[in-house]
Amino acid sequence: MDKLAIIGGRPLYGDIPISGAKNSALKVMAAALLSDEPLTLYNVPRLADVDMLLRLLEQHGTASSFEGSTLRLHAKDITSTEAPYDLVRKMRASFNVLGPLLARERKAKVSLPGGCAIGARPVDLHLKALTAMGAKIELDEGYVFAEAPEGLKGADIAFPFVSVGATEHAMLAAVRATGTTTIENAAREPEITDLAECLNAMGGKVMGSGTSTITVEGVAHLHAAEHQVLPDRIETGAYIMAVAATGGELELKGARADLLGAAWAVLEEVGINLEEIDGGLRVKRLGDRCTATDIVTQPFPGFPTDLQAQFMALMTMADGVSTIKETIFENRFMHAPELGRMGAKIAVDGQTATVRGVARLKGAPVMATDLRASMSLVIAGLAAEGQTMVNRVYHLDRGFERLEEKLQACGALIERVKE
């Protein structure tokens, strides 16, 4: 199992290209199942999660080619409507093939996704949306058996709380349903808009993305299309916090300020200078240390839960005391004890963590518990005194493309150690 060895204390200078958004790429990839014509996607990151979903799409009969960051998919014929446990269990986003298979083939058998280290994250909202569109659904031995012999029908769907995955799943199914579907209390994340733009490029009629009400007029057929995946806002935020922790100055190529939402103001508040430049963002820390501030994770445009762990790492080295309240997922403070091994002062009480900034962190062996927690440990290691060894880096490979290569190019002493 690979590890990352980091010698901290070096400021970061240079350019980092921001990859395509993993959370968007996975959903637009699933859209390929909706059409018997080719879908070409640009700016797709080379990640373990992308590879896993690609294997699942191939299992359904999708032909593919991956050259650089260009992914070509062609699901001319669906050869299997079953998504087996061995593939779906490895990644939650795989479950979103259910809607496209059901919309196109009128039946599907998809494994329920496996457990998640950061909470239960049930799929009941996904299933209720499909049921509202006329699907008959049964659960048996860990599988969802779904059928819609007459095809899916447009419906009014009102989610009791905001769910990015359920919103995306409803959109994927509704685009080929008969009639009009209205999704109330829809998620407003940029990845929702990116999916809508892809579906519309394929001939879909999705309106209102980026607002809390999305309307989808179903169409009988989707055609060939090209789509460029938006830049990864979580990767952008992570590298902003890395330079904030270490000092230095970075240009984040391809990054977009509008995708950061409330995180932009928070990062400026703690003492980071963010400047929009042609083709990206320029980032540097003002002063020797950041200033502590409080955050509450919220759906977009609020502070994203996927940047909470990285922000906690930054606050361990800030002047003052900060509180971090996690409102999206339970069990998402598992990185706190690992940061504590490096000298951080963090007290967790339920869904709130209180972080008292220390003069410096010290390198230590630490263990990643999930994707975003992994990056928090990397940020801490880059700023810490001495060597940090991050174990279980397969989590990082799921969501950060060429991480050590990008950081090495900016002066970081980081390397992958193979056991």
Q: What is the pLDDT of residues 304-358, one digit of tens each?
A: 999 999 999 999 999 999 999 999 987 789 999 999 999 999 999 999 999 999 9
Q: Which two tokens mark 91? A: 């990644």
Question: Domain coordinates of the chain in residue numbers?
Answer: 3-19+231-417, 22-228
Q: Tell me, which fold does domain 22-228 have in CATH?
A: UDP-n-acetylglucosamine1-carboxyvinyl-transferase; Chain (3.65.10)
Q: Which two tokens mark 31? A: 């859209």
Q: Which residue has the higher pLDDT, 142 or 216?
A: 216
**pLDDT bucket at 102, cuts 50 / 70 / 90:** very high
Annotated binding site: 22-23, 92, 121-125, 306, 328
116, 198, 290, 410: the active-site residue: 116
Pairing of strands 321-325, 352-356: antiparallel
Annotated binding site for UDP-N-acetyl-alpha-D-glucosamine: 92, 121-125, 306, 328
Per-residue pLDDT at 88: 85
What is the architecture of the domain spanning 3-19+231-417? Answer: Alpha-beta prism (3.65)
Which runs of consecutive H residues, i.e. helices, occur in 282-370? 308-315, 335-340
Whether the domain at 3-19+231-417 and the domain at 22-228 fall into the same CATH topology? yes
Annotated binding site for phosphoenolpyruvate: 22-23
Asked if residue 274 lies in contact with residue 243, where contact means CB atoms within 8 angstroms, the answer is no
Tell which residue, 206, 182, 185, has the closest CA to residue 194.
206
In the residue annotation, 290 being an active-site residue is answered as no
Q: Find how far residue 133's CA is from the centre of its chain.
A: 27
Q: What is the pLDDT of residues 390-410, one digit of tens each?
A: 999 888 998 899 999 999 999
Amino acid identity, residue 76?
A: K
